[in-house]
C-alpha cells in the first residue's frame, strides 16, 4: 500500500484539506450538546423564549456550517481518491502492456482483470474512507470524553470505563470477522471462476448435456459461499446488540447518577442531556471506526495484490549465454538459428534443443510436426516473444539481442494461432499493421490475404463495424483479416502460425500463390498441421519433441525423414498405397 501512495502526490492539497474540514465538522458536532444544554438550563428552565430562539438559531448555524464542512471534505476526499484510482489504473495497464509473454503466461488474464477492476476499486474506496474518517472518529471519541470531563468529572468516569469496553467489543468482533471476510472473498472468487468458465464453455456443456451437473456444482459452490457469509453475518450481527447493551447501560447509569446530582444541585438537567449525547456520539464513531478498519484491511490487501503486479519486471527475460560461436554473416541470410535452445521460465526441461537452420531473403520456410513438438515456440523466438536460452539467433545480419523491441517488431509480422480482432471498424483493425496506410495499400493486403471479397460484401466496406472479438465474422474470415493486418505492415519477415487452419484448400493455395507474388518478397514462415500447406516451401523444418528431425524440400524429406513420411502419408494414405503397388510391380 505504501508504494501506491506515490500516486497521491498530485493530490497533496486534497489529502490535507479533506481531513481538516472533517475535523472542523467534528468540532461543530461536539459543540451541539453544549448548546442543547444551554437551551434546557437557561431557556426552557427559565422560560426565556428569546434565548431559546437565539440558541436554536445557533444550532441551525452550527448544522449548516457542519454540513458545508462535510460536503467540502467529501469533495476533496472523493477527488483525491478518484484521481488516485485513475492514476493507478493507467500505470497498471501500462505496466501490464510491457510484461513479457512468460510473465503473462504465469499470472493469467483473469487475475490481471481482477487487479485492474475490483482491487483498484477497493484501494480507491480505502483512500476515500481514510481521508474522511481516520482523524474524525478518534477525534470525536477523545473530544467527547474531554468535553464530558469539563461538564462533570464523576459522570465522565463512566466514559472512561465505557470506551475501553466498547472498543474491546468492536475490535474483538472485527478481529474475528476480518479473516472470515477474506475466506468469503475466496469463496466468491471460486463462484466467479465457475460462472466465467460456464459462460465461456456453454456450447461445450450443452454438447455433452452436462447442464444439470454444472448447475449442481454451481449450487454447491454457491452454498459454501452462503454458509460462510452467514457465519460472518452471525458474528458481525453480535456487534450492534453488544454495543447497544453497553451504551444503554452506561447511559442508564449516567441518568441515574445525573438525577442524583441534579437533585443535589451539583449539575443541571441540561448537562445530563449533554453527557448522554456525548455517549451516543462515542458509540456511533466507534462503529464507524471499526468499519473503517475493515475497509482499510481490504484496501491494504488489494493494494498488496496490485503492488505484486508492479513488482514483476517488464520486458523479456534476459539470459546470459556467454560467448556463442556463430557462423559468419551473409547478406542473403534473413534468419539464422545456431544451436538454439529454449527453456521456459520455471520449466523443468528444454522445449527446444539444438535448433540450427538458415532462412534466406524471400524464401518460404515450412514448419511441421506433431502436437507439442515446439512449432509455435520456435517462431515465437523470432519476434522475441520469449528469450532463447542457448545458442544464438541472427536477424538480418545482427544478433537478435542487439535489436530494441520496437526495431525487431517492425521487421516481423506475425499472425497467431488464435485470430483476434478488436471492436471498431475493419479499417481500424487493418491499420494496426501500419498507422496511416492508404485505402490502396489496405486493398492490396486484403487481396493477397484473400479477404477482399469479405470486405466487398459488407455494406460499410472498410468502415464496417467489427464486434468485440470479431464475433460478426466467421473463423475463416477472421483468419484472412488478421493475415491482411500483418501484410499491411509490409514486414521483412512474415510468420503464419497455423493461421490458415480455418481456410479451405483452394483458398489456402490461393493465399500461398499471392504471397509468393508480392513485390516485397518477405521471408515467410508457415507453421501448419497440413502437409499440403508447406509442400511447395523452399525448405521444410520437421520438429519432433523439440528437436529438429529433418530439414529439406518435400522430396528430400520423403526420402530421408521418417517423421515427415509418417505425417505426410497419414494425410495422404492413397500415395503410400500407390507407392507400395509400384514397388511390388517393380519387384
Q: Which helix (H) or strand (E) holds 359?
A: strand 352-360
User: Residue 356 pLDDT > 80, yes or no?
Assistant: yes
- What is the CATH class of 3-310? mainly alpha
Helix (H) or strand (E) holding 137: helix 136-151
Cell of 375: 512449432
Q: Work out the average pLDDT over 58-70.
A: 90
In sequence order, what are the beta bridge partners of 398? 395
Other Cβ atoms within 10 Å of 215 Cβ, number:
12
Q: Which helix (H) or strand (E) holds 335?
A: strand 333-342
Residues 25 and 31 sit within 8 Å (Cβ to Cβ): no
Mean pLDDT calculated for residue range 241-263: 81
pLDDT tens, position by position, 200-228: 788 888 888 888 999 999 999 899 889 98
Instruction: Determine contact, residues 136/24, Cβ cutoff 8 Å.
Output: no
In angstroms, the Cα distances linking 75 to 19, 66, 71, 81, 126 are: 11, 14, 6, 10, 15
pLDDT at residue 584 above 90? Answer: no
Distance (Å, rounded) from C-alpha 286 to C-alpha 138?
Answer: 8
Confidence of residue 580 (pLDDT cuts 50, 70, 90): low
Compute the distance between CA of residue 345 and CA of residue 375 in angstroms, rounded to an integer.
18
H helices present in 238-360, as ranges: 239-264, 269-310
Position 77 scores a pLDDT of 92
Asked whether residue 581 carries a pLDDT value surpassing 50, the answer given is: no
Q: Give the pLDDT band of residue 75 (cuts 50, 70, 90).
A: very high
355 contacts 378 by C-beta, under 8 angstroms: yes
The set of long-range contacts for 46-52, using a CB threshold of 8 Å and a minimum separation of 24, is none
Provide DSSP, 415-482: E-SS----SEEHHHHHTTTSTT--HHHHHHHHHHTT-HHHHHTSTTGGG-EE-GGGTTS-HHHHHHHH
User: Which carries the bigger pLDDT value, residue 373 or residue 189?
Assistant: 373
Higher-pLDDT residue of 317, 300: 300
Q: Cβ–Cβ contacts within 10 Å for residue 124, how many? A: 22
Higher pLDDT: 14 or 297? It is: 14
Instruction: Read off the C-alpha cell for 342.
Output: 529454449
In this prediction, residues 4-30 reach a mean pLDDT of 88
Transcribe 481-499 into DSSP letters. Answer: HHHHHHHHT--SEEEEEST
Dihedral over alpha carbons 273, 275, 276, 282 (to 10 degrees): 150
* pLDDT computed for residue 520 by the predictor: 77
* pLDDT band for position 317 (cuts 50, 70, 90): low
The pLDDT of 456-469, averaged and rounded, is 85
* Cα–Cα distance measured from residue 271 to residue 556, given in angstroms and rounded to the nearest whole number: 105
Interatomic CA distance for residues 230 and 192, integer angstroms:
19
pLDDT tens sequence across 497-515:
887 777 778 888 888 888 8
Mean pLDDT (whole number) for 280-292: 78
Cite the beta strand spans of 60-174 per DSSP E: none
Q: Residue 439, CB half-sphere, CA atoms under 13 Å: how many?
A: 5
pLDDT classification of 579: cutoffs 50, 70, 90: low
Cα 445 from Cα 452, distance rounded (Å) = 8
Residue 563 is placed in which grid cell? Answer: 517423421
**Alpha carbon distance, N-terminus to C-terminus of the chain:** 81
The pLDDT > 70 percentage for the chain reads 94
Domain boundaries, the chain: 3-310, 333-586
Superfamily, domain 333-586 = P-loop containing nucleotide triphosphate hydrolases (3.40.50.300)
How far apart CA 351 and CA 342 sit, in angstroms, is 6
d(CA 327, CA 337): 10
Alpha-carbon gap, residue 56 to 384, rounded angstroms: 75
Angle at 334 between CA 559 and CA 417, to 5 degrees: 70
Q: Which of 220-229, 272-281, 350-359, 559-568 has the lowest mean pLDDT?
A: 272-281
How many residues are listed for the chain in this entry?
Answer: 587
The string of pLDDT tens digits covering residues 28-55 is 888 888 888 888 888 887 778 888 888 8
Quick check: 513 and 522 in contact, CB under 8 A? Answer: no
Counting runs of H as helices and runs of E as strands, what totals does the chain give?
21, 12
| Residues 467-488, mean pLDDT to the nearest whole number | 86
Instruction: Give the rounded percent of residues in the chain with a pLDDT score beyond 90.
Output: 10
Mean pLDDT score of the chain? 83
The arithmetic mean of pLDDT across residues 87-103, rounded, is: 85
Q: From 248, 250, 272, select the one nearest 260 (Cα to Cα).
A: 272
For 501-552, the pLDDT digits (tens) are: 777 788 888 888 888 887 778 899 999 888 888 888 889 999 988 888 889 9
Residue 126 CA to residue 145 CA, distance in Å, equals 28
Q: What is the pLDDT of residue 421?
A: 86
Amino acid at each position: 500500500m505504501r508504494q501506491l501512495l506515490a500516486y497521491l502526490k498530485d493530490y497533496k492539497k486534497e489529502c490535507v484539506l479533506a481531513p481538516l474540514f472533517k475535523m472542523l465538522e467534528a468540532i461543530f458536532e461536539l459543540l451541539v450538546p453544549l448548546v442543547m444544554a444551554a437551551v434546557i438550563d437557561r431557556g426552557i428552565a427559565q422560560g426565556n423564549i428569546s434565548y431559546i430562539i437565539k440558541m436554536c438559531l445557533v444550532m441551525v448555524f452550527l448544522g449548516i456550517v457542519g454540513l458545508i464542512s462535510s460536503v467540502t471534505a467529501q469533495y476533496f476526499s472523493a477527488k483525491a481518491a478518484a484521481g488516485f484510482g485513475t492514476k493507478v489504473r493507467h500505470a497498471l495497464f501500462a505496466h501490464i502492456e510491457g510484461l513479457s509473454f512468460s510473465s503473462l503466461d504465469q499470472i493469467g488474464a483473469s487475475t490481471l482483470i481482477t487487479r485492474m477492476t475490483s482491487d483498484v476499486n477497493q484501494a480507491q474506496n480505502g483512500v476515500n474512507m481514510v481521508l474522511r474518517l481516520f482523524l474524525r472518529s478518534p477525534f470525536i471519541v477523545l473530544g467527547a470524553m474531554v468535553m464530558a470531563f469539563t461538564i462533570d468529572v464523576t459522570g465522565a468516569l463512566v466514559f472512561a470505563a465505557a470506551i475501553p469496553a466498547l472498543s474491546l467489543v468492536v475490535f474483538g468482533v472485527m478481529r474475528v470477522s476480518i479473516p472470515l471476510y477474506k475466506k468469503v472473498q475466496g469463496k466468491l472468487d471460486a463462484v466467479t471462476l465457475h460462472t466465467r468458465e460456464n459462460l465461456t464453455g456453454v456450447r461445450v456443456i450443452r454438447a455433452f448435456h452436462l447442464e444439470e451437473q454444472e448447475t449442481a456444482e454451481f449450487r454447491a459452490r454457491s452454498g459454501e459461499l452462503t454458509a460462510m457469509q452467514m457465519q460472518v453475518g452471525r458474528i458481525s450481527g453480535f456487534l450492534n446488540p453488544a454495543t447497544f447493551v453497553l451504551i444503554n447501560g452506561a447511559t442508564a447509569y449516567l441518568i441515574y447518577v445525573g438525577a442524583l446530582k441534579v437533585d443535589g444541585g451539583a449539575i443541571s438537567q441540561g448537562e445530563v442531556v449533554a453527557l448522554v449525547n456525548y455517549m451516543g456520539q462515542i458509540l456511533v464513531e466507534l462503529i464507524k471506526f471499526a468499519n473503517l478498519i475493515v475497509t482499510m484491511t481490504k484496501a491494504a490487501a488489494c493494494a498488496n495484490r496490485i503492488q505484486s503486479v508492479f513488482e514483476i519486471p517488464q520486458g523479456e527475460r534476459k539470459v546470459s549465454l556467454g560467448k556463442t560461436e556463430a557462423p559468419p554473416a551473409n547478406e542473403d541470410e534473413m534468419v539464422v538459428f545456431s544451436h538454439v535452445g529454449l527453456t521456459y521460465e520455471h520449466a523443468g526441461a528444454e522445449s527446444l534443443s539444438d535448433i540450427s537452420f538458415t532462412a534466406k531473403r524471400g524464401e518460404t520456410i515450412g514448419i511441421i510436426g506433431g502436437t507439442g513438438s515446439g512449432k509455435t515456440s520456435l517462431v515465437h523466438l523470432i519476434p522475441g516473444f520469449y528469450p532463447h536460452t542457448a545458442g544464438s539467433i541472427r536477424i538480418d545480419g545482427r544478433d537478435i539481442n542487439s535489436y530494441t523491441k520496437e526495431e525487431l517488431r517492425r521487421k516481423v509480422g506475425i499472425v497467431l494461432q488464435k485470430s483476434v480482432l478488436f471492436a471498431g471498424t475493419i479499417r481500424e483493425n487493418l491499420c494496426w499493421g501500419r498507422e496511416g496506410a492508404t485505402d490502396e495499400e489496405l486493398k492490396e493486403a486484403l487481396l493477397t490475404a484473400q479477404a477482399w471479397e469479405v470486405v466487398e460484401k459488407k455494406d460499410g466496406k472498410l468502415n464496417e463495424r467489427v464486434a468485440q472479438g470479431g464475433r460478426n465474422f466467421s473463423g475463416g474470415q477472421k483468419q484472412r483479416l488478421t493475415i491482411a493486418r500483418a501484410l499491411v505492415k509490409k514486414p521483412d519477415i512474415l510468420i503464419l502460425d497455423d493461421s490458415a487452419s480455418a481456410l479451405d484448400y483452394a483458398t489456402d493455395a490461393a493465399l500461398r500463390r499471392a504471397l509468393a507474388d508480392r513485390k516485397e518478397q518477405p521471408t515467410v514462415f508457415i507453421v501448419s498441421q497440413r502437409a499440403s500447406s508447406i509442400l511447395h516451401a523452399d525448405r521444410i523444418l520437421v520438429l519432433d519433441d523439440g528437436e529438429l528431425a529433418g530439414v529439406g524440400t518435400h522430396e528430400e524429406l520423403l526420402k530421408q525423414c521418417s517423421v515427415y513420411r509418417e505425417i505426410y502419408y497419414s494425410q495422404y494414405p492413397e500415395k503410400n498405397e500407390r507407392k507400395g503397388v509400384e514397388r511390388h510391380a517393380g519387384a
